[in-house]
């Protein structure tokens, strides 16, 4: 269910900031929820993903808004279909994979057709929506996702993925600023996940977080293992933010 709306709505220049933030946060929360759940059983997850993408009504291609909503398509109708998926109470692995797909595609279409275009790239208004949606997400994450303080160093369980040249674009989704901040706020959520840095370029490469340590100061150090390196490389939060924003999640 989406977060409850505040009784007091914030409006700027005719735009309902609270409503936009609540809607955006809902997609991000669904994405984080299913990422966390599906990471527990990668075999079942990957099988369900393969089956999902065999269905002719599931749109595939490079993960961007235009892939899901073309020039002749209605973004409102698409987002209504996404909300219908997210409202389904069934929580089988197959349904969770569909919810993950719907949350990602919904977030991309929402950002493009409900934020960037209507707000005419007004960064001040976009930042207000971003700030409020992040607050909503964090309120949810603090209650529903494991805290990094509960874990010291956790080894990664699986080898890195095969080279990205063998991966179709439909098996990847870009890490948005929202997703990156969510990972950094809950380091445990990034385990059992694999990434491709600089996808679709000659410099691309797979990586994953091998372990992380939380210092007494509260600073988190991430040990990142790249496919072409024998040893993991430590990254602080700022380094991880840059790495994440230049990467795609492997689905």
For residue range 22-59, list pLDDT tens digits in order. Answer: 999 999 889 888 888 888 888 888 888 889 888 888 87
Average pLDDT over every residue of 210-236: 77
The pLDDT score that the predictor gives to residue 64 is 63
Tell which wins on pLDDT, 84 or 219: 84
DSSP structure string for 121-167: T-HHHHHHHHHHHHHHHHHHHHHHS--GGG-S-----SPPPPPGGGS
The pLDDT score that the predictor gives to residue 251 is 65
> What percent of the chain is predicted at pLDDT more than 70?
78
Is 93 a residue whose pLDDT tops 80? yes
Q: What pTM was computed for the model?
A: 0.57
For residue range 112-134, list pLDDT tens digits in order. Answer: 889 888 887 677 887 788 788 88
Average pLDDT over every residue of 46-75: 80
The pLDDT score that the predictor gives to residue 50 is 86
Q: Which of 14-18, 60-64, 84-88 is predicted least confidently?
A: 60-64
Write down the residue that tokens 């000659």 correspond to.
202
Write down the residue that tokens 């994953």 correspond to.
208
**Average pLDDT along the chain:** 77
Tell which wins on pLDDT, 69 or 66: 69
Average pLDDT over every residue of 187-193: 77
For residue range 148-175, list pLDDT tens digits in order. Answer: 444 433 344 343 443 333 344 446 788 8
Average pLDDT over every residue of 67-94: 90
DSSP 8-state symbol, 61: S
Average pLDDT over every residue of 97-104: 89
Residue 172 CA to residue 180 CA, distance in Å, equals: 15
Give whole-number Cα distances, 176 to 4, 102, 144, in Å: 24, 15, 21
Paired residues of 12 in beta bridges: 15
**Cβ neighbours for 86, distance < 8 A, ≥ 6 positions apart:** 26, 27, 30, 99, 102, 103, 106
List b or e across 101-112, with b for residues whose CB sees 16 or more CB atoms inside 10 angstroms. Answer: bbbbbbbbbbbb
The pLDDT score that the predictor gives to residue 14 is 64
Residue 42 CA to residue 113 CA, distance in Å, equals: 33
The pLDDT score that the predictor gives to residue 95 is 94
């Amino acid at each position: 269910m989406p977060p409850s709306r505040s009784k007091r709505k914030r409006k700027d220049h005719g735009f309902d900031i609270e409503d936009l933030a609540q809607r955006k946060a809902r997609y991000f929360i669904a994405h984080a929820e299913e990422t966390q759940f599906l990471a527990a059983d990668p075999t079942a997850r990957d099988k369900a993903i393969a089956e999902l993408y065999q269905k002719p009504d599931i749109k595939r291609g490079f993960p961007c808004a235009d892939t899901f909503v073309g020039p002749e398509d209605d973004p409102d109708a698409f987002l209504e279909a996404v909300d219908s998926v997210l409202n389904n109470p069934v929580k089988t692995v197959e349904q969770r994979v569909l919810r993950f797909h719907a949350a990602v595609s919904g977030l991309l279409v929402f950002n493009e057709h409900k934020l960037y275009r209507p707000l005419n790239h007004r960064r001040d208004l976009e930042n207000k929506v971003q700030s409020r949606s992040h607050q909503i997400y964090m309120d949810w994450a603090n209650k529903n996702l494991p805290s990094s303080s509960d874990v010291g160093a956790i080894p990664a369980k699986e080898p890195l993925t095969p080279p990205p040249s063998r991966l179709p674009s439909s098996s990847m989704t870009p890490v948005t600023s929202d997703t990156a901040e969510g990972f950094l706020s809950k380091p445990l959520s990034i385990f059992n996940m694999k990434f491709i840095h600089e996808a679709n370029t000659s410099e691309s490469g797979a990586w994953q977080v091998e372990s992380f340590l939380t210092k007494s100061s509260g600073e988190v150090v991430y040990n990142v293992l790249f496919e072409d390196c024998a040893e993991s490389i430590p990254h602080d939060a700022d380094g991880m933010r840059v790495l994440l924003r230049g990467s795609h999640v492997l689905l």
